Amino acid sequence: MSKTQRTRGSLVVMQAGRPVHEATVGRLAAGSAVPYASLSKAVTGVCVATLVERGTLSFDTRVSQALARTMTRTGQPADPRLLSATVSELLAHRGGFGPSTGSGGDMADWLRRNSGSRPAFDEQLRWLFARRLQSTPGESFEYSNANYLMLGAIIEEAAGQPYERYCKDAVLTPLGARDAQLDPAWRILSSYGGWRMALADYARFYEAFAPGNPAIGPRARQWMMSPDGKQVGGGAHYGLGTFVRPTPRGGGNFWHAGRWVYDQRNAHDGPLSVSYSTFAVRLGALDVNMVSYAEPGREQGDGGLDGALGNAARGVKRWP
């Protein structure tokens, strides 16, 4: 925190499914609910996995089928290639979007006239559908919130109920994150950045990635652990809303970072100003989950946080 000039933050460490350490810096009470930005994508990914296991969706389901009813309201994409994108490609950030597709001016215009307190899937899809893709779906990895925005809408259509309700009932509550909710002020970020909960609850949710955890069934787990068509380099790939590196023991390592920095003085709900970053990692061989939150957010990295946490966990001789 000192190295990166952060003023408030917290850290939770969970080992073998039990919280074993919590630390805070600044005026942030232990156990406080915090927002997660892009760590929300893992919640969406595991929710998609439940629908695949139930047979409601498949990884090969195309957008043309998965959003058929939704597109009667939003209209068709201007780039017809998007209709051929699959659930698998969206999960792996290979939907063909550029890094900033559907963001920036569209969000600012919306928040000037409307509250950010609802997901607004249809409106955000219209922003996406009005643009050409950067590349053909499946062609290359390009991290973009647009992929997970679409997956949130797909969950709503497949489940026949609101995204938040389905994910709470199907995934978060069974894993022990009973108080998780979309951030009331930022529900518009929903499936790609909108979740809020205590750090210990997110650590409990992250247990979904432990080997044999029933939150991710055998079909989805096999897909998640296979690097085929999901590689990002360095022996890692992108799976169910999180980076994955298979390991000889413990079912692999999983990690993701998040950041949300936004400032708009003329928003419908009044001035909006937020700046924070988040990080989560699961070290499978140690059966350890670590989750952190820090204010303010930073553009460039987190000062070696990933390496520092890993070294600290590997240095523990006996867990409480």
Spell out the per-residue pLDDT of the chain, length 320, in tens.
Answer: 888 889 999 999 999 999 999 999 998 888 999 999 999 999 999 999 999 999 999 999 999 999 999 999 999 999 999 999 999 999 999 999 988 665 568 999 999 999 999 999 999 999 999 999 999 999 999 999 999 999 999 999 999 999 999 999 999 999 999 999 999 999 999 999 999 999 999 999 999 999 999 999 999 999 999 999 999 999 999 999 999 999 999 999 999 999 999 999 999 999 999 999 999 999 999 999 999 999 999 765 666 899 999 999 999 999 99
The reported pLDDT for the residue numbered 140 is: 96
The reported pLDDT for the residue numbered 248 is: 94
The reported pLDDT for the residue numbered 3 is: 84
Q: Which are the contacts of 131, defined by CB distance < 8 A and separation ≥ 6?
A: 78, 79, 101, 102
Continuous H helices in the chain = 40-53, 63-66, 71-74, 87-91, 105-113, 121-129, 145-159, 163-167, 190-193, 199-205, 218-225, 305-314
**Helix or strand holding residue 198 (H, E):** strand 195-198
The reported pLDDT for the residue numbered 302 is: 67
- Distance between CA atoms of residues 320 and 305, nearest Å: 23
Q: For 8-314, which CATH superfamily applies?
A: DD-peptidase/beta-lactamase superfamily (3.40.710.10)
- Distance between CA atoms of residues 162 and 103, nearest Å: 22
- Distance between CA atoms of residues 284 and 103, nearest Å: 35
- Distance between CA atoms of residues 193 and 195, nearest Å: 6
- Distance between CA atoms of residues 149 and 207, nearest Å: 24
